[in-house]
Amino acid sequence: MQHFIRIAVCLLPLVLAACGGGSSDSNTTTSAPTATPTSAPSAATASAPLSLSAQVGHKLFFDATLSGSGKMSCATCHDPNFAYAAPNNLAVQLGGTDMLQPGTRAVPSLRYKEFTPAYADLLDNPDGVSVPGPGGGFTWDGRSPTLADQSSIPLLSANEMANASPADVVAKVKAAAYAPLFLQAFGSDAFNDTTKAFANIQAALQAYQMEDQSFHPFSSKFDLYVANKIGGNMTAAELRGLTVFTDANSGNCASCHYQGAGLNGSSALFTDFSYETISVPRNMDIPANQNAAYYDMGVCGPARTDHLPASPGAANSFCGLFKAPTLRNVSLRGAFFHNGVIHSLYQLVHFYNTRDTNPEIWYPTVGGTPKATPDASFPTYGLITTQYTGGTVQKFNDLPAAYVGNIDPQMPLDSRAPGATPPMTEAQMSDLICFLNTLTDGYQAPANPPAHGTCVD
Ligand code: HEC
Ligand code: HEC
């Protein structure tokens, strides 16, 4: 979100206690497919037995026969052991009938998506302070309004599960061992109408993601901390990291990765569902990017088609906008940002810190002379490890020049001058990473916590 300072509502432990927990929505699960993601189960109710629809969804999610290759299920890219994101550090995954067709974006985690409202150009911001702006929706560009709708993208994309048609998918489900369960859930004539059967497949995948506790466990150290539970004692380093995260004058991460009370009764999702342009470097590991004329510009296309510029380069405030994703389980990721260009949290926080002060280590230089050995002061954590004499840094090289004005000016990416002092110190970034590591689900408090260490003292 642009131009408005957000207030970090949940900064102190006592306030956090009031902010913790999930939605207090419905306590019931029925066999009816859930049409919209608004009746999300809370952490407490999610352990209830799955509805029949969700049970079907569970089978579908792990069924590799639902792909043109016979080798790829949803779980191939959305691995439950990696918070339902990719189990590797590839920027994009390979799929298709031959399992050799590259994707164009990094795989997001599917955890905590059930609270996401449909995309709107003017979504109310959950922080209650920011002006309404682009927000909500599924995928990095928000082009899909519901989890059910979204599922047709991977099922039918030629470079993902590569089914020829919805009918192709329905035929595979009809032949699957769980076909009787499908009939039980959706009626004895459920395979007769292909359109209806495909819609029920989509509804079942949504129901599974909505209902199964593994998609919203709220079992991180941070969750124990906000709920004042045993084992939730944050270390001094982690608490300092939380302060950096929320401090408008240093990390300011909470401004977009909002950790307060959210929409649909949610809380501490570490996203406000908003879209910003932060203009990460182009990733040449994505084969589509070999074509110099191709730009993935998020909300303004090309994958999304309802906000396209009137003509190439025509003014359009939606170009370059990508969703600020949840940061829960972020330490399990091997590739960060929509194009997977960054591969560690260490590198990522340094990108936020030095995109503007040291653009030469993030974006390529043209026309310069490479130095045989970089100066001792030349940072080594960037994407570019060659130092140049002269030349021009191609800053924001993954966004056409016409849209550089869309870049969000908030801290820590406040466009300060090259060579200026960056917003965070090394110690603050180290603490910030310690804090981000507390957002990983499945936390078990150690019996004998270490007395000292980087993330302790
Ligand atoms: C080949 C890898 C791959 C497979 C297989 C795959 N996905 Fe995805 N998934 C992705 C990628 C990449 C994205 C981001 C797409 C984009 O932004 O356009 C994504 C996005 C999503 C999202 C949106 C998440 C968000 O943050 O808004 C959901 C939900 C989802 N996938 C569910 C599924 C389901 C259900 C299946 C099986 C039917 C599936 N995926 C199969 C790679 C995959
Ligand atoms: C102005 C809003 C904004 C601020 C402030 C901000 N982010 Fe982000 N963040 C985003 C957006 C937008 C993306 C997605 C960008 C893209 O993929 O092109 C993102 C992506 C990320 C990702 C990648 C997650 C993934 O699943 O790949 C991480 C990690 C992250 N941010 C951490 C931080 C941290 C840490 C801070 C504070 C130092 C911070 N962000 C500050 C908007 C913001």
Average pLDDT score over the chain: 90
> Which residue reads 């960060």 in tokens?
336
Q: How far is the CA of 22 from the centre of ligand 2 (A)?
A: 23
Measured from the CA of 143, which atom of ligand 1 is nearest?
Answer: 18
Ligand nearest to the CA of 437: 2
Q: Tell the residue nearest (CA) to atom 8 of ligand 1.
A: 154
Which DSSP helix (H) or strand (E) runs through 393? strand 392-393
Q: Is the pLDDT of residue 29 over 70?
A: no
Averaged pLDDT, 66-77: 98
Q: How far, in Å, CA of 167 to CA of 193, rounded? A: 10
pLDDT in tens, 145-168: 999 999 999 999 999 999 999 999
Which ligand lies nearest the alpha carbon of 148?
A: 1
Q: What is the topology classification, in CATH, of domain 1-22+218-457?
A: Cytochrome Bc1 Complex; Chain D, domain 2 (1.10.760)
DSSP state of 332: G
Specify the pLDDT at position 128: 84
Calculate how far, in angstroms, residue 232's C-alpha sits from the geometric centre of ligand 1.
32
The verdict on the CB of residue 398 being under 6 Å from ligand 2 is no
CA distance 375 to 387: 8
Residue 391: C-alpha distances to residues 359, 368, 370, 371 (Å): 13, 4, 9, 12
Query: Residue 129: its pLDDT value, please?
Result: 87
Residue 426 — pLDDT band, cuts 50, 70, 90? very high
Any atom of ligand 1 within 6 Å of the Cβ of 138: yes
**What's the CA-to-centroid distance between 273 and ligand 2, angstroms?**
12
Q: What is the number of other CB atoms lying within 10 angstroms of the CB of residue 174?
A: 14
**What pTM was estimated for this model as a whole?**
0.91
pLDDT in tens, 262-272: 877 888 999 99
pLDDT at 42: 42
Contact 351, 168 (CB under 8 A): no
What is the CA(29)–ligand 2 centre distance, in A?
34
Return the exposure string of 197-218: e unless at least 16 CB atoms fall within 10 Å of the residue's CB, then b.
Answer: bbbbbbbbbbbbbbbbbbbbbb
Digit-coded pLDDT (tens) for 99-147:
999 999 999 999 999 999 999 999 999 888 899 999 999 999 999 999 9
Cis peptide before 166 (omega within 30 of 0): no
Per-residue pLDDT at 19 exceeds 80: no
**What is the reported pLDDT for 47?**
64
Identify the residue whose C-alpha is closest to ligand 2 atom 22: 337
Contact in structure between 211 and 25 (CB atoms under 8 Å): no
- The rounded percent of the chain whose pLDDT value lies above 70 is 90
CB of 140 shorter than 6 A to ligand 1:
yes
Locus of tokens 């089978």: 59
**Mean pLDDT for the stretch of residues 322-349:** 98
Look at residue 26 and tell me whether its pLDDT is greater than 70: no
Higher pLDDT pick, 335 / 264: 335
The answer to whether the CB of 435 is under 6 A from ligand 2 is no
Question: pLDDT higher for 34 or 141?
Answer: 141
CA of 337 to the centre of ligand 1 (A): 14
Q: How far is CA 425 from the centre of its chain?
A: 26
- Take atom 37 of ligand 2 and give the residue whose Cα is closest: 253
pLDDT at 180: 98
Assign 5 a pLDDT band (cuts: 50, 70, 90): very low
Classify 23-105+140-215 by CATH class: mainly alpha
355 Cβ closer than 6 Å to some ligand 2 atom: no
The alpha carbon of 280 and the centre of ligand 2 are apart by a number of angstroms equal to 10
- CATH 1.10.760.10 domain locations along the chain: 1-22+218-457, 23-105+140-215
| 389, 302 Cβ separation under 8 angstroms | no
